[in-house]
Chain A
Amino acid sequence: MPGYYDISDILMEDEAVSVAFHVGANGVGLLDPGTETNSVEKGAKIDLPFWLAHELCRRRAVSITIPSCFGQKMKKDVQADAACVDLGTRYPYFYEFGCKLFPLVGDKSIGLFLRHTFANRYKEMLSKSHTASLNAIPKFVLRLSKEEYQLFEAARSSMVEFKKWRVRDLGLMKTTIVGHKRKTDLH
């Protein structure tokens, strides 16, 4: 579970969600740009940051509508080609956000959708991370969400360590085998 001080958890909870208020609330007019009085009317539909929507939903003051990142269009995009969907720029906290959202919204399909998306993207990510060189950042990396990026970096750095280990100086004469390009999957 992410801790109190975990910065990426805090930033993730800043994502905006659209909510419908079941009750009115006074003195918080700044939340609703369309209001004239300093309060939010019952039935108003506003965008709130997730940390606020989460607490209010627990006390049944609002109900959260499913954001577009888990909606029908997204589902179609993932069906078409999961690896091409740009999570990095549009929804960097896709998976964590989905995990926190789905108990509140009551839509059971979100969990399955998250797993399905991740499984489809994983294969592409695995092969790219093992072949990518250290200096070039493939364009593909920009499409990864934060969690996927951590996995990618872990795979890439372990690959670099492996390569270093292969050519390590044992204090013996280097043989020519090190220079050959062997046709294995690891290359």
Chain B
Amino acid sequence: MYARRAAQLLQELSSCEEGQLPPYNGDKFDQVIRECEEHSRQFQSLIRDKDIETKNEDHYGSFIHHLSIIRNKRCLMAYMYKRAEVIQSYRWNVGRVLPREIQDKLNFSEQEYFKDYCGVIDSYMKDLDLDLTVDMVPPKDPYIRVRVLSEIGEVSLGDHAVSLTKDSFHFLRRTDAETFISQGLMEEFVE
């Protein structure tokens, strides 16, 4: 009672490393909500039939219950907000598809949130005709060495045509190569 459980929820969240999430603790979350209902019941029983202005014992008791509910609300909101922030960062750091370990830590509505967020980002990038999630760190070189993984054939890049046969090496502009790399047809060749 009195927001101790809610504080434990937040402790759990803050003890994780930056950018990581603990599994969604649905049980504790529901317990906090039940505590709020209990506070609300006590509050109702204390203010029933009383004049709001008289500052007697019931008034202060009901005030304490009211403050507890507000406090629980703040803790739960902060919990959801922090998790939502980390989920947003996953789109930028990890990508469109989340690995199994991360997905297991999210509850159903958080997974939906992730899908919707990806959808919003994608429609925005489509309007701009620009992929914002590539090159998060500015690259040192506009050109990149690549190795072709599967047969692509003749492709015209800029002013010349390149024959992209399997297992051939090329030195291409980064923007041209990115589309093939994201489809898995090429890989960056790092010495």
Contacts and interface: CB of A to CB of B under 8 A. Distances in A.
Interface of A: 4-8, 10-11, 14, 23-28, 30-31, 39-40, 49, 51-52, 55-56, 59, 61
B14 A7 contact: yes
Contacts of B143: none
B75 interface: yes
Interface string B1-33: 111100100110110000000000000000000
Nearest to B77: A5
Contacts of A25: 57, 60-61, 63-64
Contact of A4 (B46, B55, B74): B74
B78 interface: yes
Contact of B60 (A5, A14, A23): A23
Contacts of A39: 57, 61
B57 A7 contact: no
Contact of B14 (A11, A23, A59): A11
B23 to A, nearest CB: 18
17 contacts: A4-B77, A11-B7, A11-B10, A11-B14, A14-B3, A23-B57, A26-B58, A27-B42, A27-B45, A30-B1, A31-B64, A49-B3, A51-B3, A52-B2, A52-B71, A56-B60, A61-B60
Given A4-B74, A4-B77, A7-B14, 19 more contacts: A7-B10, A8-B14, A10-B74, A10-B78, A11-B10, A11-B14, A23-B55, A25-B63, A26-B46, A26-B58, A26-B61, A27-B46, A27-B58, A27-B61, A31-B64, A49-B2, A52-B2, A56-B63, A61-B63
Nearest to A169: B140
B89 to A, nearest CB: 15
A26 B77 CA distance: 29
Contacts, number: 76
A156 to B, nearest CB: 15
Nearest to A59: B63
Interface in B33-89: 42, 45-46, 55, 57-58, 60-65, 67-68, 71, 74-75, 77-78, 81-82
Contacts of A27: 42, 45-46, 58, 61-62, 65
B78 A52 contact: no
Contacts of A7: 10, 13-14, 78, 82
Contacts of B71: 51-52
Nearest to B67: A55
Nearest to A54: B67
A36 B82 CA distance: 40
A25 B62 CA distance: 8
A88 B165 CA distance: 61
A42 to B, nearest CB: 8
Nearest to A6: B78
A51 B81 CA distance: 20
B67 A52 contact: yes
Given A11-B10, A30-B2, A52 B60 contact: no
A94 B63 CA distance: 28
A25 B1 CA distance: 16
The 5 closest A-B pairs by CB, nearest first: A27-B61, A25-B60, A26-B61, A24-B57, A25-B61
A11 B9 CA distance: 10
A5 B75 CA distance: 8
Contacts of A6: 78
Contacts of B45: 27
